[in-house]
Chain A
Amino acid sequence: MRRSYRLLAISLLAVLVLAACGAPAPAAPEAAAPVASGPVVNRLGITLPEDALPLEQQVFRYPSKEQKYMTWDASVYEENDGDNYGWPDSCVRPDKDFNPQPNVCESWSVSEDGKLWTFNLQQDKVWSDGVPLTANDFVFTFQRYARADYDFEWFYSMMGIKNWAQVVSGELPPEELGVKAVDDHTFTIETDYPVPYLIKIMADAWVVPQHIVKDRLDDGTWALKPENYVSAGPFVLQSYEKGKRLVFVANDKYTGPYPPMVDKVIVEFMEPEVRFAAYKNGELDAVGGGYTDDLPPSAMAEIMANPELKKELISWPNFITYYLFFDTWNPPFDNLKVRQAFSHAIDRDKIVNGPLQYQAVAAYTMNPPGFPGENVEGLKDVQAFDPELAKQLLAEAGYPNGEGFPKLTMYTREANPALTNAAEAIAAMLKENLNLTVEIQNLDYGSYMDALRAQKREKSGNFLFALVPYEFDFVDGSNMLSVWGGCENAGADLSQMPGRHTWYNQEYNNLLCEAGQLLNDEARRNELYQQAERILIEDVALVPIYHGIFNALVKPYVKGPMFEPNSKGQVTWNRFRFSSRESQIYMSSSTRE
């Protein structure tokens, strides 16, 4: 009996070890690739550069997290990575400097009064199933965006399209929407007022195939069915292995300005904690450059200490601002002096040089450096770190040395370790400089946004103090300021005012409203935004803490136009939403500079 047990144990171990050794290790492209004989031509007939690896090795792999939907028109916040290039194509496409460039929309014009836009489509555009892409597809796409249960509806509502709200609420049929097809290759957008930034939003007009979706009110499940994998972009979905990966292949029907070079793009689903390891083990070609903690502080420290890895690192600033906000409609934060005390008590430099090293720069404004309308220089002293002044202001507000101040909870939203570190550093500084006790409570996304909503809409009064990021949606001075206000709906209650926070300032709203309708005068608009932002910062609606920096590692054998710097000299590994990342790379037998 004993022997048989031992035998069983040994044989089991043997099976495991054999299984482990017998099977080949996963293919790693860096392992001595044979140089292709003759030029490499992909399935679109495009000849790849001379140093390209053979076609079967033109596979690009990067990590992501599995989400619920496969298409932008289902959900923007719960869509799988990759749909923006794999599926549809957008009307215009920003270049590396965020300027809109022709894409499916070859050209466009706007009427004298700024209220009618005309878009001309590329003539020979077809879906991957051979059906021509027409202006009707765009009209249908906008009709789909105008539905009440769509989570990005608020974004398109900023375009001021005629009858938008009525179509959303169902008062008017979708045909009444201000988006109309003139002919197969032309459509127009009619707006209620001039919208200077409309063309920038058209970068997110991701056309869907009407002949496939059919139902305007489909919740987005259509794109999960394999028979519906119909694309207009450079890639087309080959397979969706649930729980594992998405596999895209070059779309051989693609015609347009961004033809693909690599043959396959594989999106591997994995948790952030293990991505760096998988990258180092040759299972991924790129990692990082997203919102998850793919490259935590330890990874960054390791990269900086390792010359090989350091060469693969690409860093560039993101337009994102992490800030503290208050419920200014309730005590104690209805007192400006309290808010000012907080704003002067936090040493941003210590945070961005400490826990957030390589990941952030100090923030004193809502609009990050390099963003249209930003005024970083002009505003950087308004909330400068000054612990003595902070103490004094808190005392003036009636809380000398923090006495009598209520016990505070700082809420964070689905915080990754880095964000929690920042929150803890802030709490420590508030304790050190103002003698206040702050506990940090992390909420999951749903609970957090529910609380945020209740704070404003229902004036719940129990969500006083929190830390949250806002990332740009499109590159225009209006975008990030819109979190704090906008054109007032006449006679509306405070709780129904534009913006997501419990801070209100009529002058601020007026400035935003005026600038938002000013056509063909970008300079004047940005001037107005600067005035508005000054109000915001001086009234301490928020305490900006840091602007994020993106870090990504890309294997040296990945080359292509993607790595050419933009006008500021920055090499970026942008979200594919801009400059069509996956179409601008190929796998090479030589290494990148």
Chain B
Amino acid sequence: MIRYILTRLLGLLFVLLVLSMITFWLMHGVPGGPWAYGQQLMSDQQLEALKARYGLDKPVWQQYLIWLGGVVQLDFGMSFQHPDESVAGLIGRTWPVTLHLGLLTILVAFGVGVPLGIISAVKQNTWVDYLATLLSIFGFVTPHFVWGILFILTFALYLKWLPTGGWEGPQYWVLPVLAYAFAPIAMIARYTRASVVEALRADHVRTARAKGLSERSIMSRHVLRNALIPMVTVFGPLIPDLITGSIFIEAIFRIPGLGGYWVTSTFDRDYPMIIGLVMLWAVLIALTYLITDVLYVFLDPRVRIR
């Protein structure tokens, strides 16, 4: 097991290396630079000076090696968007906020989605099931920025219950979490329903029923445990998505998190931040898959690592 995990982590290093090269090549191909463009045309002299200030006057491969040299010493460079902050510092400042939002969202999404899925599976093909399905499809098909604006209009402007945005305390969390959780609730409910339905049909459940076990113990011991296995693989990848934030939610609700930087970094040609974010994402994804796979071994006794 340990060896398996180590091999995977070694593979991650390789992925990161190649990934950083691809990203470097891609981002330096985008026209424009990190400096402010005034209303007038820059002189050649000014352009040279700006390039030098940002270290962009060297060939791209040299810039890459310089960056790599820094990374080896765990220095990811200074952000171009916030000249007084390092990339690590900027992520360290903004990510906790996004994590906070993401974890709340995950809590709500699972807290609502899983029971909803179980109920509609147990009451399959009744009006309860149809209602839940309809609800989850409704949540799934409407973009969350539409939800966000609708919530602001309803709960802040019309009902005057909550502020329109900001990130100061619990009353500021409600609307973004709800808007953000809508789609995952729908997804989780759908997959939960599917896996529970499948688990209910399994032979051993039939046997258990024949043995005369109570429905409750059948559900908890046989059905849910088996239903959990496929769910792990589906829900795993949801998590990095949710904890890295959404530009839409964070922009609409004025949340000082990481979500916006996935987009502003490219707009502002913040090269160190772009590549820092790519590395962060790659590590998160790799870890998620690794944890999912390891979890799987524990949950499903049939799976063994060869």
Instruction: Say if the two chains contact directly (CB < 8 Å).
Output: yes
Interface residues of A (CB under 8 A from B): 1-2, 5-6, 8-9, 12-13, 16-17, 19-23, 25-26, 68-69, 75-78, 147-149, 151-155, 168-169, 219-221, 224-225, 241-244, 268-271, 273-274, 277-278, 280-281, 283, 444-453, 456-457, 470-471, 473, 483, 500
Asked if B177 CB lies within 8 Å of chain A CBs, one says: yes
Contact yes or no, A68 B118, CB < 8 A = no
Contact yes or no, B170 A19, CB < 8 A = yes
Residue numbers in B under 8 Å from A277 (CB-CB):
152-153, 156-157, 164
User: A228 to nearest B CB, angstroms?
Assistant: 11
Asked if B13 CB lies within 8 Å of chain A CBs, one says: no
Contact yes or no, A68 B82, CB < 8 A = yes
Which of A244, A280, A446, A447 is the one whose CB lies under 8 Å from B167? Answer: A244
Contact yes or no, A450 B32, CB < 8 A = yes
In the complex where A16-B174, A25-B163, A271-B251 touch, is A450 in contact with B115 (Cβ < 8 A)? no
Interface of B is mostly: helix
CA of A457 to CA of B45, assembled, Å: 13
Interface residues of B (CB under 8 A from A): 30-33, 35-46, 48-50, 52-53, 81-84, 93-94, 97, 107-108, 111-112, 114-115, 118-119, 122, 149, 152-153, 156-157, 160-167, 169-171, 173-174, 177-178, 216, 219-220, 224, 251-254, 256-257, 267-269
Residue numbers in A under 8 Å from B81 (CB-CB):
68
In the complex where A2-B216, A449-B32 touch, is A456 in contact with B37 (Cβ < 8 A)? no
Which of A68, A155, A269, A449 is the one whose CB lies under 8 Å from B37? Answer: A449
Contact yes or no, B37 A20, CB < 8 A = no
Contact yes or no, B83 A219, CB < 8 A = yes
Contact yes or no, B83 A68, CB < 8 A = yes
Contact yes or no, B256 A446, CB < 8 A = no
CA of A5 to CA of B122, assembled, Å: 14
User: A291 to nearest B CB, angstroms?
Assistant: 12
List of 10 A-B pairs having minimum Cβ-Cβ separation, nearest first: A446-B32, A243-B256, A19-B170, A148-B49, A449-B37, A1-B220, A77-B36, A149-B49, A224-B84, A23-B171
Scoring A168, A449, A452, A470 by chain B CB atoms within 10 A of each residue's CB, the highest score goes to A449
User: B26 to nearest A CB, angstroms?
Assistant: 15
User: A474 to nearest B CB, angstroms?
Assistant: 13
Contact yes or no, A6 B115, CB < 8 A = yes
Which of A9, A75, A242, A470 is the one whose CB lies under 8 Å from B112? Answer: A9
Known pairs A16-B177, A273-B251. 20 more at Cβ < 8 A?
A5-B114, A12-B107, A20-B171, A20-B174, A21-B171, A25-B161, A68-B83, A149-B49, A151-B36, A151-B37, A168-B45, A243-B93, A270-B254, A274-B152, A280-B157, A445-B32, A446-B33, A448-B37, A483-B39, A483-B40
Q: Which residue of B lies closest to A3 (CB)?
A: B216
Residue numbers in B under 8 Å from A269 (CB-CB):
254, 256
Which of B49, B114, B165 is the one whose CB lies under 8 Å from A274? Answer: B165
Contact yes or no, B93 A281, CB < 8 A = no
Scoring B83, B112, B268 by chain A CB atoms within 10 A of each residue's CB, the highest score goes to B83
Residue numbers in B under 8 Å from A449 (CB-CB):
32, 37-38, 41
Residue numbers in B under 8 Å from A447 (CB-CB):
30-32
Residue numbers in A under 8 Å from B114 (CB-CB):
5
User: B259 to nearest A CB, angstroms?
Assistant: 11
CA of A269 to CA of B254, assembled, Å: 7
Contact yes or no, A148 B32, CB < 8 A = no
CA of A356 to CA of B165, assembled, Å: 28
- The 9 listed contacts between A and B (C-beta, < 8 Å) are A9-B112, A21-B161, A22-B170, A77-B37, A148-B46, A152-B38, A445-B37, A450-B32, A500-B41
Contact yes or no, B83 A281, CB < 8 A = no
Q: Which residue of A lies closest to B253 (CB)?
A: A274
In the complex where A169-B45, A444-B267 touch, is A23 in contact with B84 (Cβ < 8 A)? no
CA of A220 to CA of B84, assembled, Å: 10
CA of A397 to CA of B153, assembled, Å: 54
Q: Which residue of B lies closest to A275 (CB)?
A: B164
Which of A13, A151, A283 is the one whose CB lies under 8 Å from B163? Answer: A283
CA of A225 to CA of B82, assembled, Å: 12
User: B192 to nearest A CB, angstroms?
Assistant: 10
